[in-house]
Each structure stands twice: as structure tokens, then as C-alpha cells.
């Protein structure tokens, strides 16, 4: 069975974006980029909630023309070539969306996990991650804690309805400043 891997950047105070929705604070140094690329090699499908999708589709199709960052140069071709699924009740899709899942989240995601193929990567998307966590459908959490205090925004885990016990699998400091920890559900 395929796994869902949740890859997310957060501030020290537990926010995935700033009070105004800003996402200009994660720094993708060479070690953090290599970690991200290692996750990319494990997957064949990308999963997005609508807000993150709209941010991604506004940048990655032409990313190399916008930025000369080495991480951008590496990730952009992978992003363009990899099938992408957006979860939204209202988003109609676009030329970069391979599929939109609108209803019955649990059944649709369970069916995705049961299909043949490599793992699935959820990048960001606090509300979608919270819903999938509540349904017990996320198999691995990879959390990059950046050395910044944002003071507000969307929480890493948007108001969970119940406790989720996690088991730390690995933790390391990359680029001398970002702590990346991988977790699995403990139970």
C-alpha cells in the first residue's frame, strides 16, 4: 500500500504561514533542498489543498524565469512532470491539475493509497493535513522547523479534534539552522 507523506515547513511558534498568509520565510539551503529531493524520489504523485495549490501554480510552472535559486532549478522540472491532485469542493482545476477531489475524502484517499505506484506527497496544506490526520491517513510527517517566530497565521495542526501520538523516527539540523524531524503515528 502507498504511503502519504506530509512535508511541511513551520515556524518555531508553530505556524505554516504568517499573519497575512506570507510564506517568504523558509530558507531552502542545500541540505534542506537535498532532504526535500530525497522525499521527491519516493513519490509519484503530489497532493495539495486549494490554498497551497493556488500559491504553487502561481510560481512553479515558470519558476526558473522568476528565480535563479538552485532549489528552484531542481524542483521545478519535478513539479511540472509529476501528477498533481488538488482537494477542493469548489476549485474547477486548471491546466496543471491532473485531478480534483471534491467529496468523500476518506474513501477517495483510501482508494489512492490502494492503487499501485510510489508514495504520495502532501506539501503544506494545513486544513487538508488536519483532515487526513483526523482520518488516520497520513503515514509519515516530515516537519522542518525554521528559526523564525511569526506571531500568527495558520497553525501547523489546525485544531485537532483528538490527540495524535507520534513517534520520532529521525531528527537532524540542516544548513546549520533548520531542524527536520520525521514522525510516524505511534500505534
pLDDT at residue 109 tops 80: yes
How much is the pLDDT for 85? Answer: 97
Q: Give the range of the structural domain holding residue 152, as residue numbers without chain letter.
A: 4-185
The CATH number covering residue 98 comes to: 3.40.430.10
How much is the pLDDT for 124? Answer: 72
pTM value?
0.94
Among 180, 156, 157, CA closest to 170: 180
d(CA 16, CA 177): 17
How much is the pLDDT for 32? Answer: 97
* Contact predicate 121/36, CB 8 Å: no
Among 111, 116, 172, CA closest to 144: 172
User: How many independent structural domains does the chain possess?
Assistant: 1
* Contact predicate 15/154, CB 8 Å: yes
What interhelical angle do 105-114 and 126-134 show, nearest 10? 80
Amino acid at each position: 500500500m502507498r504511503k502519504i507523506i506530509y512535508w511541511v515547513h513551520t515556524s518555531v511558534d508553530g505556524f505554516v504561514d504568517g499573519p497575512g498568509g506570507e510564506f517568504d520565510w523558509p530558507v531552502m539551503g542545500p541540505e534542506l533542498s537535498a532532504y526535500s529531493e530525497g522525499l521527491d524520489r519516493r513519490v509519484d504523485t503530489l497532493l495539495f489543498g486549494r490554498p497551497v495549490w493556488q500559491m504553487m501554480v502561481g510560481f512553479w510552472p515558470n519558476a526558473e524565469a522568476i528565480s535563479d535559486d538552485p532549489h528552484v532549478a531542481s524542483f521545478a522540472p519535478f513539479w511540472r512532470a509529476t501528477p498533481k491532485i488538488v482537494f477542493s469542493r469548489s476549485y474547477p482545476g486548471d491546466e496543471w491539475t491532473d485531478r480534483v477531489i471534491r467529496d468523500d475524502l476518506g474513501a477517495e484517499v483510501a482508494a489512492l493509497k490502494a492503487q499501485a505506484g510510489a508514495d504520495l506527497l502532501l506539501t503544506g496544506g494545513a486544513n487538508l493535513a488536519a483532515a487526513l490526520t483526523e482520518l488516520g491517513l497520513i503515514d509519515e510527517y516530515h516537519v522542518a522547523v525554521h528559526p523564525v517566530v511569526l506571531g500568527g497565521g495558520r497553525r501547523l495542526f489546525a485544531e485537532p479534534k483528538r490527540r495524535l501520538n507520534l513517534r520520532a523516527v529521525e531528527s537532524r539540523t540542516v544548513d546549520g539552522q533548520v531542524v527536520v524531524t520525521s514522525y510516524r503515528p505511534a500505534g
